[in-house]
Amino acid sequence: MKLLSPALGCNASRAVGPSASRRSPCLRPPAFSRRAGRLGLLAAVFLTATCFGQVPQPAPPAGRATVYYAMDSSSLTDNRKVNAGVVRRMVNSLVMRATGRPEVGAAWASLVAKTDRVGIKVAASGGAISGTNPAVVDAIVEGLAAAGIPPSNIIVWDRNLADLLAAGYRTDSARYQLRWVDPVKGYDRKSQVSAPVLGRLIWGDSGFGDRAGTRLADVLGTGDQLSSKSCYAKVLSTGVTKVINVPSLSDSFLTGINGALANMTLPNLDNWRRFTKPPAYGDPYLAEIYSDAIIRDKVVLTIMDGLVMQYAGGPAPNPGFLLDHFTLFAGRDPVAIDATAARLIDEARKPAKLPSVLPLTVWLESAETIGIGKQREQDIDLVRVGMEPGR
């Protein structure tokens, strides 16, 4: 894959585009038997491939990725109400293990500095049903506070205010600043992505209504505004210096899964719909946009909320396709987390005879090709993290 220009930071235009055709066989879901009970789906696949507890482990071999996970059936109570205390211990244990630090504040301090403006990018499109749960974010915020980050420097955001409110986030929180992307003023016209695919601008895109430079063919044709450029959200380009990426474990009809790469790219751009058109479904654009320094250099940790899995109907909320999953994932490799999520979601779809999501996730291969992370199952170590009481 060849990028048309090197990754650039803020106030720059980055060109991305399709690579030469390369299609390998779809990711193979891990083979395991489906057990009765709510823990069966994840437990069976992980029990033979993980290390339990907080026992120090040797460093993984070169060229491998590690995905840490914490799983506790008491993280959800009746009616999928989240047990905030359990979730806090899960988050704390994950960040300590991922950073190799024995204390929560020190773990977060190894990722961010007191002077950083730390963004927490949530996936709120699933609302209270399958979006990033506020209890997970609260635990991250507590850890950042322990590292000395003041509330004024902690920013929780997603594209739409309505989604954030539906997911349970508050505009008046004293612990963090809630932000969303203003559809008129929220995009940075000096920080753009260019790609050789046209998108039809609609209201909410930063260039909508601005006919300067519009092609004559478009004016004489449908009258649509077509553009090959997308602008980054200001909250990402200039508002934060470090990012904790917190997607949820959900499928997506747009990109197969609504995971780590999708969560940091599509909601942070205008004119984004052009990147998800079939038959590519985000390939190679999710990978190439994520590789831009404005994203890749800022994301210091990915924590995927898998307390509840939505295996169909996403990324919008659909209560008919939910599984209690009781799990949080964390790691430095977003591709490995996404690849693991894709395999788990695909396995969950089989009993309902739903089509595989894997053909929609070829962008995972593109992401590995350009060095973002590992996507092959045999290159990923799944490490279960035990929880220390009181942490």
* Token pair for 363: 């962008």
**Number of neighbours of residue 236 by Cβ within 10 angstroms:** 25
Confidence band for 196, pLDDT divided at 50, 70 and 90? confident
CA distance readout (Å), 231 to 183, 206, 281? 12, 7, 20
* Token pair for 69: 């996970």
- Encode pLDDT of 319-368 as tens digits: 999 999 999 999 999 999 999 999 999 999 999 999 999 999 999 999 99
- Encode pLDDT of 58-70 as tens digits: 444 458 999 999 9
What does pTM read for this prediction?
A: 0.83
Q: For the chain, give the mean pLDDT.
A: 84
* Token pair for 314: 């996403």
Query: What mean pLDDT is predicted for residues 33-61?
Result: 37
Please determine, for residue 54, whether its predicted confidence score (pLDDT) is greater than 50.
no
Query: What mean pLDDT is predicted for residues 34-43?
Result: 35
The dotted CATH code for 65-194+231-384 is 3.40.50
Confidence band for 227, pLDDT divided at 50, 70 and 90? confident
* DSSP letter, residue 38: T
Non-local CB neighbours of 235 within 8 Å, separated by 6+ positions: 119, 155, 157, 179, 181, 186, 268
Non-local CB neighbours of 384 within 8 Å, separated by 6+ positions: 46, 50, 51, 52, 53, 68, 69, 70, 71
Peptide bond into 284 cis (omega under 30): yes
CA distance readout (Å), 251 to 218, 245, 260, 376? 35, 17, 12, 19
- Encode pLDDT of 289-324 as tens digits: 999 999 999 999 999 999 999 999 999 999 999 999
- Which pLDDT score, from 0 to 100, does residue 221 have? 46
- Which pLDDT score, from 0 to 100, does residue 39 have? 39
Q: How many residues does the chain have?
A: 391
* DSSP letter, residue 244: E
Report the distance separating Cα 288 and Cα 72, nearest Å. 35
Confidence band for 278, pLDDT divided at 50, 70 and 90? very high
- Which pLDDT score, from 0 to 100, does residue 132 have? 98
